[in-house]
Amino acid sequence: MMNSLLQSILDSFTDVTQNSFSIVIFLLLGLFILALILAIFFPFWHKLLIRLKLLTEDEKPSSMLLWFVAVIIIVKLIQAFIVQPFIVDGGSMLPTFHNKEFLLVDKLSYLIGKPARGDVMIFKFYEGTANQYTGKYLIKRVIGLPGDRLVIKNAVTTIYNAQNPNGFILDESYITLKDPLKETDITLDSTHYFMMGDNRAQSYDSRSWGALDEKDIRGQVLLRVLPFSLFSYEPGQHIYKQ
Among left, alpha and beta (phi > 0; psi -120 to 50; other), residue 129 is beta
The Cα–Cα gap between 20 and 176 comes to 31
CB-based contacts of 5: which residues, under 8 Å, 6+ apart?
none
- Annotation says 107 is catalytic: no
The Cα–Cα gap between 129 and 127 comes to 7
Q: Which of 12, 107, 124, 140 is catalytic?
A: 140
Closest CA to 196 of 173, 180, 212: 212
- Annotation says 140 is catalytic: yes
Q: Which of 92, 124, 203, 206 is catalytic?
A: 92
The Cα–Cα gap between 105 and 92 comes to 18
Q: Which residues are catalytic?
A: 92, 140
